[in-house]
A and B are shown apart, each in its own frame.
Chain A
C-alpha cells in the first residue's frame, strides 16, 4: 500500500529517469525543455482539493492506532462477533480522524499560501531580447534573469555579469547557511564582458554541462562552453536560491536549477521526525497492552469454551445456538467479541489527546511574555509541537558559544593608555561605580563621523584625546591603521565597516568615535580623519595575523615621511618584543590587563615603533624578495617579521567585551542546580572559549582542576583523558561499567548505558577540536565520555559542525539521557538535529538554526524558563495525563472482565452502549484535558526558586514502567470494587416498591454511574491546580453525563428510535433509590480512601521536594525575584585576544585584484576612489 502514496507523490517525476548530468543552453528554451527540467515553481504542499481526502485518510490509517480502530470497526460489522454496535467505534474514530484531518488541512492551506506567495514573486527575465517581468514560477532553466540589489536570488544561477568591478557580486547567505557576513562571487571574464548589454546577453548561447541537482551547498562542478571554448565552473560562480544580493547594483545570471532542483529545496528535505522518550515508552506500553488484551481475551474465550460445553449446551432450551456453532467455534467468536468489548484498554482518544495536550502546551510557550524579547520583537516559538514533555527531562545541554551564550557583539569597553586606565567609572572615594543603562554616556556629537551606536561612559578619555595627548592619539591612530577592515561609505559621512572579526570592528569603531576615523583604503594607502583632518598614510606592508604569530602589524609612512610600525597582539607575545625602556609601563599595564581579564574582557596590547628610513628601504627589498620567493616563502617572511617587530614601544592595551547575553551566568547556575550538565561546543579557539567559560561561571577559580586535552595523537589523547580521570576518581575501575539492556519495540534495540560515576570535588575539561577527533574514534569514545561526564563543565573548542553532532550522539548513545542542543548559527544545525531537542536562538546569525530547531527564542536565558517552567509543567502534565488516562480506561475495561464470569463469557457489556461510546470522548475527556493543560504543582516563581524540582523528570519518576504497573494494579482494585460492590448491593434485592432492580439495565446504569463518579473524584485528587476551567470541566462533565443519560433514557427519544434507546425509564427507576446512592458513596470511598491514605503516608514519611515546596507555597507568598546582580569575579587568569581565528584579510587588502577598475556608474562604490597604481 505504501507504493500508492509514493505513486501519487511521484506522479510528475515518474516518467523522468534519474538525472546524471545536466546540460542546458542559454536563451534556448526549446532545447532546454527537451530535458524536462523542473521549472522554478515550488510545491511544499502535500495535497490538493481532490487528493486531500484519499491521501490524508491513507496517511492517517498508516498510524497503527487508527488502523487498529478500523480493524475493530470491521470486526463490529460481523454480526456473530459484534458485541457492541458499530457506532461505539465509528463515532470516536470519525471524531479523531476529522480533528486530525482539519489540522492537516489547515497546515496544508498555509503551505499553499506560502508557495503561492513565493511562486508569484516577480523577476526580470530576458525573453526575445527584452527584459520582461515574469513570475518566479514561470522562470525556466536556461533563462537569463536580472537581479537588483537586495533582491532574493530566484533560482540557482550561473553568474554572468555584474555592475561591480571584476564582476564581483556580494551575497548574503543567511537564509541558506545562516551566515550574515557577505560572500563574494565572481563571474567568468568571458561572460562578465557582456556587462548589461541586452544584445550581448540575448545572443549569448553558452552551454552549461554540470552536476545533477544535489544538496551540497559548498560544492559545484561544471563547465561552460562559449564559442567552442570550455571554462570550468565552481561554487564561486554560482548564486544559490535563498541568498540575497547586497551592495551590488545589478547582476545577470543564467538559471541552472529551478524550483525543486535548487540546493535550497534539496536541502529542505525530509526533517527528522523526533519522538519523545514518553512516545517510545507509550509505544512499548501499548504493545504490552495489546498483549495483555490478547491474554484477557484468550482467557475469556477458553472460559467460554468450557462454559459452552458445560452450561451453554444445556441452556439451549431457551437460548438455541446458531446452526453450525459448537463450543469451539463459539469460543473463537468470543475471542473477537471480547477484543471489541475490551478494546478500550487501548483507547482511541489517547493519541488524539496526547497531540492536543502537546499542542496546547506549545501554545503556552508561544504565548509566554517572559520569553518574549522586546528588542527585536521575537516571541518564543515552539516549532515542533510534539516534544514538550521532553523539555522536562533534559539531562545534558550542548550549547554553542557565539551568539548563544554571547551576543556576538564586541564592545570597546576599557583601555589602558600609557599606564592610565580608562573606561572605569569611579565615585569620589575611588570606588568603582556599576555601569547601568542610566549612566550618562559620552557625547560624541563633536565628531560628525562618529558611530551613533557606540557607547562609552568615561568622559576623561575623550578629554584626554581632545586635549591632544600624544600617547592617546598614537593609541587611536594605531587602532585606525592597524587592521584589515574594509570601509564602505555609501553616502558622505555614513560609514560602514566590513570587519572580518567583530573584535576588529569594535576597535576600529572606537578609534572612529574618538576622532581617528578610518575612512577608506586602497592597496597602497589608508585614509583616516585625524581629529577632523584628513591624513593619507602610505601602506608599506601588512604583517598579517596568524595563529602562531598572534599579532598583526602594519608599516605605514605618514604624510611627513615618517615610517612607523604599528602592532597589536596578545600580551604575552607583544611583551616579549618590547623595548626594555617600557618595563615600568609594562608593570602598570599588566595590572590593568589582569583587571580586564578578571572582568572577562578580551585584551590586546598595542605597541609601535618608529622605523629608520634607510633600514626600511633595505627591509622592503628583502621583503619583496621573500614574498616572491618560490621556496620557503612563509619561513622567510616570518623571519623578516620577527626581525622588524622588536624593541617596540608599548602604547597601551585595549579591552573588548565579548558581551554575554543577559542573565547567562545566572541561567547556567540555575540549570546546574537542576542537575543539568552543560557542555559548550564552540568553533572558537581555546582561549576565547575558556574566557567565556569563566565569565559565565561555568569555569570557576575554586574548581579543583581544569583539565586541558589538546594532544595531537590518539595515544596522547588517551593518556590525557586517563590521567584526568584517575585524578578525579582514583579508585574507579579501568574499564567503564557498561550496562547492556534491550529496549524499544519487541526489545529489538540494544542499548548500552555507561553508569554515572561519583566524583569528589569540581573539575572541568577543555578539549580541543583536533583531540576531539581522536577521542571520538570508536576505541576512545567511552574514555572520553567517562572522563567528560565526571566533570562539572565540559568545553569543546575548535569543533566542526560534524563533531558537534558526534558529541551529542555519543552522549545519546551511552547515557540514555535526554539531550538538548542550543545554538544560533548554521554550524549548529547538525547538533540541533542530532539532539533530542534542538533550540535555536533567533539572533543575529540568520535563520538556519531556527529553521531546523524544535524551539526557538531570542535569548539564552529563556532556556531556564523553557526547561524549569514549561518543560517541567509539560512533563508533569503529560505524566499525570497518561497515568490518569490509563487508570480510567483500565478501570472501565476490567469491569467487563469481571462481569464475563457472570454472563457466561458471552461478551455482554456491563454498560450501556451509548455510555461506552461517550465515555472516552465526552464524559471524561475534557476534565483530563483541563488537567493536562492547566495543572501546576507550584507556580513558576517557586519553580525558579527550587530548580531541584526538575529532578523527577530526569529520573523518569512520574511515568515509567513501574508507575504503569502500579496504576494497572490500582485500576484492577478499583474495577473489583466497582463491579462487586454494586453487584453485592443489587444482588437478590428489590426496589423500595418491591419491583425489579437487579435487571440488566439498572445494573448497567448503576455501574456506569459509580464508575464515572469514581474516576471524577480520582481526577479531583490528581488536580493540584483548580482553575475555573478545571471546575467547569469536572463538574460540567458530570452534569453532561446526567443530562445525556436523562435525555437518552427519556420517553421522547425512545419513541423516535425504540431500538437504539432501549434504556427508557431506567434512570428514573434507579437513581431515585436511596440505597443506590448509598452504594455510589460506598464505592467512591472504597476507591478513593486507599489513595488518600497512601499519599498522605508517603507525604508524611518521605516527602519529596515537590511536597515540601507545595507545603511552603501554601504558607508563604511566592518568592520575589531578587534584583539581578552582576557577577564579578576575581581572576588571576589572563585573557585571550581579540582576533578572529582564521587568517586575516591582509592579502585581499593589498591584492592586485582591486587595481583593475571598471567604469563607475554614478554611484560611490566600494574602493571607487582607488587611483591607479604606478605599476
Chain B
C-alpha cells in the first residue's frame, strides 16, 4: 500500500516552523481552523446493515406483528355491527315510494319504516350511524364551500359570508347562515328505532343526540353569533340555506344544541374523506342493569325520508355498531398485521439462507487493490 495521505501533524509541523519567521504581529495565517466540523471529522455513528442486525430485526418484527395482528383481528371480530340500506331503490323496499316521489317542494315529510332482526344482543354502548355512499363530500368545490369564520360566530362573516360559499352565499339579498354547499346539503332524514320485544308491544329505543360531535368542534370551532341567548335575534337578517325547511336557529329546542352548535349539524360539517362514509347519528347508552343495550329480536327503524340520494346513485344506510379500544369494526388492520408479520418472518428465513449461502466473509474478503 502506497503512502498517500498526509496527516495533519506533518503539515502542522511545517507550519509552526514557517510561520515563526513572520514574527509576532505578522499577517494572520490563512490556515483553516482545526475544528472537527471544518475538517469533517465530526464524531459519527456509522451503522451498516449487517446480518447481525437485519436478520434478528426481521424475526423480531415478525414475532411482534403476528400476535398484535391476531389481537386486532379478534377485537375487530368481536365488534357487533348491523347495517341496513333504506335508500329504497328496489321495488320491494319499504322506502321505495318515498324515494320515488321525492320532491324538493313538498312540505309534508314522507315516512317509511324498515323492519329488521338482531340475531345477537349488543352489549355495552351502541352507536347508531347513517351512512351515505357515492356522496362526494370530499369534492374540492364542496369541501371549500363553507365559511369557518361565520361558523365560529364572527359577526362580520355572518353578514358578509366568504366568497367560497357561492352559490349558496346569499338568498334573496340576504346572507345565508350557515352559507355554502356543505351546510346546504345537511342530512335531514330523521331516524327512530323501536324494539318489538316478545310480547309484541312497540318500545322506542332511547337515542341520545348529545356527545356525537368532537369536543373541539362543539366548543371551539363552532359558535353561535352574538352573545344573546335568543338565537332568532342573533340570526336576524340572514336567510336559511335554500334546501333547509327551518332556519338554523330552529334545529333543536335545546339552546345548547341549537344554531351552529347543533351537533347533527357539526357532524355533517366535518366533511368525509371518502365518497362512502358513515356519520354518527345517535348513541344508545348502555343501561346500568345487566340486560344488553340492544337485545336480540325484532326492531323497526322509522325514517322520515327527506334526503334525496337517488338522483346521483347514492345510498343511505343505517348502521348499529358497538366499539372497542380500537374503534369500529375494521378487520383490515388485524389481517394486515398478521400478513406483514408472516412476510417478515418468511423474509427473515430467506435472508438467513442467502446469508448462509453467500458467506459473510464475502463482505470482508480481501479487497482487490
Could you say which of A1059, A1085, A1108 contacts B363, with CB atoms under 8 Å apart?
Answer: A1108
Q: Which residues of A lie under 8 Å from residue B29 when comparing CB positions?
A: 377
> What 10 A-B pairs are tightest by C-beta distance, nearest first?
A1065-B216, A1003-B273, A374-B15, A314-B312, A906-B140, A994-B127, A367-B38, A318-B185, A990-B328, A908-B140
Q: Which residues of A lie under 8 Å from residue B152 when comparing CB positions?
A: 1054-1055, 1058
A885-941, CB < 8 A from B: 902-904, 906-908, 934, 936, 940-941
Q: Mark A73-107, 1 if CB is under 8 A from B, else 0.
A: 00000010001000000000000000000000000
With A319-B136, A1097-B351, A1101-B354 as known contacts, state yes or no: A1002 contacts B44, CB within 8 Å: no
Bound: A1026/B167 CA distance, A: 55
Q: Which residues of B lie under 8 Å from residue A370 when comparing CB positions?
A: 5-8, 11, 39
Say which one of B114-122, B232-240, B264-272, B288-296 lies at the interface with A.
B264-272
A interface majority secondary structure: helix
- The residue on B at minimum CB distance from A945 is B1
Q: Which residues of B lie under 8 Å from residue A946 when comparing CB positions?
A: 367, 369
Asked if A1122 lies at the interface with its beta carbon under 8 angstroms from chain B, I say yes
Q: Closest CB of chain B to A1032's CB: distance in Å?
A: 11
- Interface residue count for B (Cβ, 8 Å)? 121
Asked whether A666 lies within 8 Å of B273 as measured between CB atoms, the reply is no
Asked whether B351 lies within 8 Å of A996 as measured between CB atoms, the reply is no
Asked whether A1082 lies within 8 Å of B148 as measured between CB atoms, the reply is no
Q: Which residues of A lie under 8 Å from residue B42 when comparing CB positions?
A: 934, 1027-1029
Asked if B298 lies at the interface with its beta carbon under 8 angstroms from chain A, I say no
With A315-B136, A319-B142, A903-B138 as known contacts, state yes or no: A990 contacts B127, CB within 8 Å: yes
Asked whether A314 lies within 8 Å of B362 as measured between CB atoms, the reply is no
Say which one of A583-591, A625-633, A1073-1081, A1131-1139 lies at the interface with B.
A1073-1081
Asked whether B330 lies within 8 Å of A985 as measured between CB atoms, the reply is yes
- The residue on B at minimum CB distance from A1049 is B216
Q: Which residues of B lie under 8 Å from residue A994 when comparing CB positions?
A: 125, 127, 212, 280, 283, 321, 323, 328
Say which one of B171-179, B198-206, B332-340 lies at the interface with A.
B332-340
Q: Which residues of A lie under 8 Å from residue B151 when comparing CB positions?
A: 1058
Which A positions have Cβ atoms within 8 angstroms of B? Answer: 79, 83, 311, 314-315, 317-320, 322, 337, 364, 366-370, 372, 374-375, 377-379, 663, 666-667, 669-670, 673, 861, 864-865, 873, 902-904, 906-908, 934, 936, 940-941, 944-946, 948, 981, 983-1004, 1024-1030, 1051, 1054-1055, 1058-1059, 1062, 1064-1065, 1068-1069, 1073-1075, 1078-1079, 1082, 1085-1086, 1089, 1092-1093, 1095-1097, 1099-1101, 1103, 1105, 1107-1115, 1119, 1121-1125
Q: Which residues of A lie under 8 Å from residue B2 when comparing CB positions?
A: 666, 669-670, 1122
- The residue on B at minimum CB distance from A1090 is B347
Q: Closest CB of chain A to B355's CB: distance in Å?
A: 6
Could you say which of A319, A945, A1093, A1095 contacts B141, with CB atoms under 8 Å apart?
Answer: A319
Q: Which residues of B lie under 8 Å from residue A1058 when comparing CB positions?
A: 148-149, 151-152, 154, 221
With A1121-B3, A1121-B5, A1125-B3 as known contacts, state yes or no: A1074 contacts B326, CB within 8 Å: yes
Q: Which residues of A lie under 8 Å from residue B267 when comparing CB positions?
A: 996
With A989-B328, A994-B323 as known contacts, state yes or no: A1078 contacts B333, CB within 8 Å: yes
Asked whether A1108 lies within 8 Å of B330 as measured between CB atoms, the reply is no
Would you give 21 A-B contacts (Cβ < 8 Å), ordered by A? A314-B313, A319-B141, A319-B181, A367-B32, A663-B6, A666-B2, A667-B4, A902-B138, A903-B138, A906-B138, A936-B44, A988-B330, A994-B212, A998-B273, A1024-B47, A1030-B44, A1058-B154, A1059-B148, A1065-B220, A1085-B65, A1103-B363
Asked whether A944 lies within 8 Å of B11 as measured between CB atoms, the reply is no
Asked if B77 lies at the interface with its beta carbon under 8 angstroms from chain A, I say no
Asked if B224 lies at the interface with its beta carbon under 8 angstroms from chain A, I say no
Most-contacted residue by chain A among B33, B271, B327 (CB, 10 A)? B327
Asked whether A1112 lies within 8 Å of B19 as measured between CB atoms, the reply is no
Q: Closest CB of chain A to B150's CB: distance in Å?
A: 9
Bound: A1068/B61 CA distance, A: 29
Q: Which residues of A lie under 8 Å from residue B354 when comparing CB positions?
A: 1097, 1100-1101
Asked whether B139 lies within 8 Å of A319 as measured between CB atoms, the reply is yes
Asked if B274 lies at the interface with its beta carbon under 8 angstroms from chain A, I say yes
B250-273, CB < 8 A from A: 267, 270-273
Could you say which of A1086, A1092, A1110 contacts B54, with CB atoms under 8 Å apart?
Answer: A1092
Bound: A1123/B3 CA distance, A: 6
With A319-B181, A999-B271 as known contacts, state yes or no: A990 contacts B351, CB within 8 Å: no
Could you say which of B129, B325, B368 contacts A1074, with CB atoms under 8 Å apart?
Answer: B325
A985-B332, A1074-B326 given; name 12 further pairs at CB < 8 Å.
A369-B8, A369-B11, A370-B11, A936-B40, A944-B5, A999-B271, A1000-B270, A1024-B47, A1058-B149, A1065-B216, A1075-B330, A1124-B3
Q: Which residues of B lie under 8 Å from residue A1027 when comparing CB positions?
A: 42-44
Q: Which residues of A lie under 8 Å from residue B369 when comparing CB positions?
A: 673, 946, 948
Inter-chain CB contacts under 8 Å: number: 351
Q: Mark B315-333, 1 if CB is under 8 A from A, else 0.
A: 0000001011111111011
Bound: A1095/B49 CA distance, A: 8
Asked if B101 lies at the interface with its beta carbon under 8 angstroms from chain A, I say no
Asked whether A988 lies within 8 Å of B328 as measured between CB atoms, the reply is yes
Asked whether A1064 lies within 8 Å of B221 as measured between CB atoms, the reply is yes
Bound: A1024/B278 CA distance, A: 46
With A319-B142, A996-B280, A1105-B367 as known contacts, state yes or no: A987 contacts B333, CB within 8 Å: no
Asked whether B46 lies within 8 Å of A1026 as measured between CB atoms, the reply is yes
Bound: A986/B5 CA distance, A: 58
Asked whether A1111 lies within 8 Å of B48 as measured between CB atoms, the reply is yes
Asked if B85 lies at the interface with its beta carbon under 8 angstroms from chain A, I say no
Q: Mark B38-70, 1 if CB is under 8 A from A, else 0.
A: 111011111111110010011001000100100
Asked whether A1051 lies within 8 Å of B220 as measured between CB atoms, the reply is yes
Q: Which residues of B lie under 8 Å from residue A1101 when comparing CB positions?
A: 354, 358
Bound: A997/B271 CA distance, A: 10
Asked whether B141 lies within 8 Å of A906 as measured between CB atoms, the reply is yes
Asked whether A318 lies within 8 Å of B142 as measured between CB atoms, the reply is yes
Q: Which residues of A lie under 8 Å from residue B148 when comparing CB positions?
A: 1058-1059, 1062
- The residue on A at minimum CB distance from B14 is A374
Asked whether A1121 lies within 8 Å of B39 as measured between CB atoms, the reply is no
Q: Closest CB of chain B to A897's CB: distance in Å?
A: 15
- The residue on B at minimum CB distance from A1052 is B220
Q: Which residues of B lie under 8 Å from residue A1001 when comparing CB positions?
A: 270-271
Asked whether A315 lies within 8 Å of B312 as measured between CB atoms, the reply is yes
Asked whether B3 lies within 8 Å of A1122 as measured between CB atoms, the reply is yes
Asked if B111 lies at the interface with its beta carbon under 8 angstroms from chain A, I say no
Asked whether B18 lies within 8 Å of A993 as measured between CB atoms, the reply is no
Q: Closest CB of chain B to A772's CB: distance in Å?
A: 32
Q: Mark B357-369, 1 if CB is under 8 A from A, else 0.
A: 0100011110111
Could you say which of B54, B212, B277, B311 contacts A314, with CB atoms under 8 Å apart?
Answer: B311
Bound: A1093/B346 CA distance, A: 11
Bound: A1124/B112 CA distance, A: 98
Asked whether A995 lies within 8 Å of B214 as measured between CB atoms, the reply is yes
Could you say which of A667, A1002, A1030, A1075 contacts B273, with CB atoms under 8 Å apart?
Answer: A1002
Q: Which residues of A lie under 8 Å from residue B312 when comparing CB positions?
A: 311, 314-315, 317-318
Bound: A609/B269 CA distance, A: 115
Q: Which residues of B lie under 8 Å from residue A983 when comparing CB positions?
A: 274
Q: Closest CB of chain B to A363's CB: distance in Å?
A: 8
- The residue on A at minimum CB distance from B276 is A988
- The residue on B at minimum CB distance from A908 is B140
Bound: A995/B208 CA distance, A: 13
- The residue on B at minimum CB distance from A1091 is B49
Q: Which residues of B lie under 8 Å from residue A1030 when comparing CB positions?
A: 44
- The residue on A at minimum CB distance from B137 is A1000
With A906-B141, A1078-B72 as known contacts, state yes or no: A1113 contacts B46, CB within 8 Å: yes
Asked whether B220 lies within 8 Å of A1079 as measured between CB atoms, the reply is no
Asked if B143 lies at the interface with its beta carbon under 8 angstroms from chain A, I say yes
- The residue on A at minimum CB distance from B138 is A903
Q: Which residues of A lie under 8 Å from residue B33 when comparing CB positions?
A: 367
- The residue on B at minimum CB distance from A868 is B4
Asked whether B364 lies within 8 Å of A1111 as measured between CB atoms, the reply is yes
